[in-house]
Amino acid sequence: MNVLFFQVTLIVYLGGTIAYLIYLLSSHERAAWAGRFLLGLGFISHCLTFVLRYIEAGHTPVVNLHESLSFFAWMVVGFFLLLRYRYKIEILGAFVSPLALLLIIGAAALPKEILPLPPALRSWWLPIHVTFAFLGDAIFALAFCAGVTYLIQERLVKSKYVGALSGRLPSLEVLDEINYRALTIGFPLLTIGIVTGAVWAEYAWGSYWSWDPKETWSLITWLLYAALLHQRLIKGWRGKKAAIMAIVGFGAVLFTFLGVNLLMEGLHTYAEWFR
Amino acid sequence: MREVILVGLNYRTAPVDIRERISFQEEDLDRYLKALKGLPSLTEGFILSTCNRVEICAATGDPEKGVDEIKGFLAFQHHLPLSEFEDTLYVLHGEELVRHIFRVAASLDSMVVGEPQILGQIKGAYRTAHASRTTGTLLNKLLHKAFSVAKRVRTETSIGNRAVSVSFVAVELAKRIFANLEGREVLIVGAGEMCELAVQHLVREGVKRVLVTNRTWERAMELAERFHGEAIPFSELPNTLLRADIVISSTGSPDFVVKREEVSDIIRKRKNSPLFFIDIAVPRDIDPQVNTIDNVYLYDIDDLQEVAEANIKDRLQEARTAEAIVAIEVEKFCRWYESLELVPTIISLQEKMEKIREKELRKTLSALPQLSAKERKAMEALSEAIANKILHDPITLLKKTSLNSDREAYVDVVKKLFRLDEE
């Protein structure tokens, strides 16, 4: 049942992505409307997927790669829909929805069976730790989208190519503000994600920190964002540099999430769960 | 059947000295409208008068006479012999007229295609005409349709949202950089007259304060007063760059007034808060190299002009889409208008039948004087029943066809079959 809803979600996101891309290229208001509607519909269907999978599995469905990718995409879309209320940034959907679509296509390609939870993960810390970690990641994903958009808009304005495309993109100031807000919200969430992970590690594995690759890369990511936050607050970094940092930071997020799981062996790798 | 006619002149057909003499003052429009409707052959009237066009639109049962009367009205009201301006007038009927009105409302017939004022002007003119009760079924429908076509064009094409003048381009660019212009400060360096329009637009967008600096202190004071701004001594220019967000420069200086090193220093002190330079001076005031600094944006007069020209090209592109929308709507409107003709067709069909019946009944009754009153009554009822039965099916069919597209053909055939046109 949850797989059915998952597939519906995938198809609806695909439609939303196409609509948003049409909007980006043609500025047809109806395309934006369709994109918004489909993304919202997909989000609802995605919520149902989770609830159903939670009920079927009996635990929070964030333990294998299929579930994690899907959870990540769900949060990215959710945050984007929230962000839309705050800023007039419909066009950002053209960057967010393809990202969410890629994540969910990745999830679709992986085995979707529900496997019994390994004993090490049987804890209330699982949803807490994973939720905070992914909340932070999803917000950084939005900062990444805003950063990419910023670089495009900045290039257009600097090179004096300010035609229709530039007119559809948000102003540089708005994009930079999204970057900053994402940083100030995402960073504490990432911190909480790491801290809850450490506390849980103490319970489960007997030590707060064991330099497992996931932990190491989380720390690298955390340091990157800490550096960006520092530069922003103290040195007044903004604009292009901050946008590039948000993109680099998100690269680290993705590597921590995917690269570590796929390429490295460690405590976070439950081999049979990812193949 | 009544018809709509239009007599007008615009910037293409008439020179400005004719346009200004023919124009109708807004405050007297009510009086003019009433005089217009008072013309014997007109039943509805509408006057649109802007600096680029004067158009009179009217409904009439006799188009030829109506046109002559409107021409006479124009000459009489403006105390101008018709011969002086008659060749600048255009007269439109039917589909051509509908297309013209739709195009004017959608700003496709404007001097600057896509400029937004014209729709407001037509709406204002219509409001006055409606209040003066000089419009009726035909003009109401036509103008309402024109407004909705204009709205459709505006939402379905981007014809109106591209800046095509240098000063508007400057404002548009500022909005690409800043989320909004409220609370921003704009600094004017130099003579300032050339940038007056840009400053006006910026102030309308919410710019908080206008700062003015000039090598001559008196001149700075004078300009500051004109823009309700603040005069700044020229020596304070570098410090002022710390607080201004938008700088418009137009000095007569042969050298750069603002140099790259200065700006990179300032931008650091501003903690990278963006700075937008608009250099409209020739020779240029601002080192073009400042554009390479992060968070600093520089546009010179050529850049602005290029953007404006590109926007004009885009607008013309959009105008093509808009013309297609207008074409569809014109067809729809004309179909509606022609459906009106159906009713008179049915009426004349019934009238013709009634005439035949009466004539034949009279003939028969006068040939049979011996009939009793009761028998006469019966004969009359019989003829009436036959006439109604014969007409019933054709009329039903005609009414039904008003919904499908071959209606014109049916109306045409019915008119020919019963020779309705000869009467």
Cβ of A239 and B294 within 8 Å?
yes
Looking at the structure, tell me whether residues B84 and B134 fall in a common domain: yes
Tell whether A48 and A161 lie within a shared domain: no
- Give me the DSSP letters along A158-210: HTT--SHHHHHSPPHHHHHHHHHHHHHHHHHHHHHHHHHHHHHHHHHHS-S--
Q: Which residue of A has its CA nearest to B161?
A: A167
Q: Are residues B43 and B179 in the same domain?
A: no
Higher pLDDT, A150 or B283: A150
B370: three-class secondary structure by DSSP: coil
Report which secondary-structure segment, H or E, holds B213: strand B209-214
Query: In the predicted model, what is the mean pLDDT of residues B48-55?
Result: 91
Asked which of B156, B190, B212 is the last residue of a domain, the reply is B156
Residue of A nearest to B302 (CA): A160
pLDDT of A85-111, one tens digit each? 777 788 888 999 999 999 999 888 887
Among candidate residues B368, B364, B398, the one with its CA nearest the CA of residue B383: B364
What is the pTM assigned to this prediction? 0.72
Q: Same domain, yes or no, for B138 and B175?
A: no
On whether residue A118 sits in a domain, the answer given is: no
Q: Please report how many Cα atoms fall inside a 13 Å half-sphere around the Cα of residue A57, on the Cβ side.
A: 23
A166, B176: Cβ pair inside 8 Å? yes
Q: Is B334 a catalytic residue?
A: no
Both B7 and B150 in a single domain?
A: yes
B33 near B44, Cβ under 8 Å?
A: no
Secondary structure element (H or E) that encloses residue B249, with its range: strand B246-250
Q: Say how far apart CA B130 and CA B115 lie, in whole Å.
A: 25
Q: Are the beta carbons of B69 and B157 closer than 8 angstroms?
A: no
Of B155, B177, B271, the CB nearest to A172: B177
Residue A275 pLDDT exceeds 60: no
- Domain stop point among A110, A135, A161: A110
> Which comes out higher in pLDDT, residue B342 or B206?
B206
If pLDDT is split at 50, 70 and 90, which confidence band does B409 have? low
**Nearest CB to A171: which of B176, B307, B310?**
B176
Q: Is the same domain home to B151 and B178?
A: no
Extract the tokens encoding B287: 């080192």
Same domain, A12 and A101: yes
Interface of A with B (CB under 8 A): 27, 29, 153, 157-158, 160, 162-164, 166-167, 169-174, 177, 235-241
Measure in Å the smallest separation between the Cα of A24 and chain B Cα atoms.
14
- How far is B258 from B293, CA to CA, in rounded Å? 13
Same domain (yes/no): B353, B265: no
Closest chain A CA to residue B290: A158
State mean pLDDT over B61-81.
92
Residue A115 lies in a domain: no
How many structural domains compose chain A?
2
Among candidate residues B51, B57, B195, B334, the one labeled active-site is B51
Give B43→chain A minimum CA distance, Å: 42
With beta carbons less than 8 A apart as the criterion, state whether B257 and B248 touch. no
How far does the CA of residue A104 sit from the closest CA of chain B (Å)? 33
**Nearest Cα to Cα of residue B244 among B198, B215, B208, B294:** B208
User: Do residue A177 and residue A266 come from a single domain?
Assistant: yes
Indicate whether B329 belongs to any domain. no
Query: Nearest CB to B291: which of A158, A239, A241?
Result: A158
- Confidence check: pLDDT of A125 > 80: yes
pLDDT greater than 50 at residue B48: yes
Substitution target in B161, B268, B295, B312 with the highest count of A β-carbons within 10 Å is B295
Residue A200 CA to residue B321 CA, distance in Å, equals: 62
Question: pLDDT at position B305, please?
Answer: 87
Q: Which domain holds residue B278?
A: 169-308
- The pLDDT value recorded for residue B290 is 93
pLDDT in tens, B282-305: 888 999 999 999 999 999 988 988
Determine, for residues A162 and B172 on separate chains, whether the beta-carbon distance falls below 8 Å: yes
pLDDT by residue (tens digit) across A236-270? Answer: 888 899 999 999 999 999 988 888 777 776 666 55
Residue A274: pLDDT over 60: no
H helix intervals, B78-116: 82-85, 94-105
Residue A240 with chain B: CB contacts under 8 Å? 294-295
Place of tokens 């393809």: A98
> Chain B residue with minimal CA distance to A158?
B297
pLDDT at B403 over 60: no
For residues A97 and A138, state if they share a domain.
no
* Among B122, B156, B190, residue at a domain's last position: B156
Same domain, A55 and A172: no
B295 shares a domain with B274: yes
Point out the residue among A29, A160, A173 whose CB comes nearest to the CB of B274: A173
Residue A149, domain extent: 125-275
Q: Are residues B122 and B257 in the same domain?
A: no
Q: Are residues A140 and A207 in the same domain?
A: yes
Is B412's pLDDT higher than 60?
A: yes
Is residue B325 in some structural domain?
no
Cα–Cα distance list, A83 to A173, A181, B114, B234 (Å): 15, 11, 33, 44
Among A79, A110, A141, the domain-final residue is A110
In this prediction, residue B404 carries a pLDDT of 46
Q: Is the pLDDT of residue A196 over 60?
A: yes
Under the banding of pLDDT at 50, 70 and 90, the label for residue B98 is very high
Residue type, A149: T
What number is the average pLDDT over the span B1-29? Answer: 88
Neighbours of B35 (CB within 10 A): 15
**B149 shares its domain with B176:** no
| A156, closest residue in chain B (CA to CA) | B176
Domain identity same for A45 and A100 = yes
Is residue A3 a part of any domain in this protein? yes
Instruction: For residues A84 and A163, state if they share a domain.
Output: no
Amino acid residing at B234 = F
CB–CB of B252/B281 below 8 Å?
yes
Q: Which residues of A touch B270 (CB under 8 A)?
A: 236
Helix (H, G, I), strand (E, B) or coil at B79: coil
Q: Which two tokens stand for residue B395?
A: 């009329």
Same domain flag for A136 and A89: no
Whether residue B381 is contained in a domain is answered as yes
- Looking from the CA of A74 toward its CB, the CA atoms found within 13 Å total 22
Q: Are residues B122 and B210 in the same domain?
A: no
Lowest mean pLDDT among A3-7, B57-61, B325-329, B334-338: B334-338
The total number of structural domains that make up chain B: 3
The mean of the pLDDT values for chain A is 86
Cis peptide before B283 (omega within 30 of 0): yes
For residue range A161-170, what is the model confidence (pLDDT) as tens digits? 887 788 888 9
Could you tell me if residue B327 is inside a domain? no
> pLDDT tens across B232-278, in order?
999 999 899 999 999 999 888 888 989 999 999 999 898 889 999 99
Answer yes or no: is B316 within a domain.
Answer: no
ipTM of this predicted structure: 0.83
Residues of B in contact with A160 (CB under 8 A): 299, 303, 306-307
In a domain, B320, yes or no: no
Which one of A81, A110, A139 terminates a domain? A110
Cβ atoms of B63 and B161 within 8 Å: the answer is: no
Q: Which of B162, B176, B306 sits opposite A153 (nearest CB)?
A: B176
Indicate the length of chain A as a whole number: 275
Q: Are residues A81 and A154 in the same domain?
A: no
Residue B93 has pLDDT above 50, yes or no: yes
Residues B385 and B352 in one domain: yes
Position B139 in a domain: yes
Nearest CB neighbour to B297, from listed A158, A166, A235 = A158
Q: How many CB pairs under 8 A join A and B?
A: 63
Q: Determine the average pLDDT of the residues in B163-184.
A: 85
For A160, the closest chain B residue by CA position comes to: B303
Q: Given B156, B181, B208, which residue is the final one in a domain?
A: B156
Q: Please answer yes or no on whether A160 and B172 come within 8 Å at the CB atom.
A: no
Per the model's pLDDT, the better-predicted residue between B351 and B167 turns out to be: B351
Which residues of chain A make contact with B295, given a CB cutoff of 8 A? 238-240
CA atoms of B150 and B391, how far apart (whole Å): 43
Same domain, A94 and A181: no
CATH number for the domain spanning B41: value is 3.30.460.30
Q: What is the CATH number of the domain that holds B254?
A: 3.40.50.720
- Answer yes or no: do B174 and B149 share one domain: no
Same domain as A98, residue A143: no
Which residue is associated with the tokens 């509805």?
Answer: B44
Using a pLDDT cut of 70, give the percent of chain B over it: 95
Does B195 have pLDDT greater than 60? Answer: yes
Q: Is residue B321 part of a domain?
A: no
Q: How far apart are CA A72 and CA A106, in angstroms?
A: 11
Q: Is residue A117 situated within a structural domain?
A: no
Tokens encoding B174? 């500022």
Q: Which of B337-341, B383-387, B412-416 has the lowest mean pLDDT?
A: B337-341
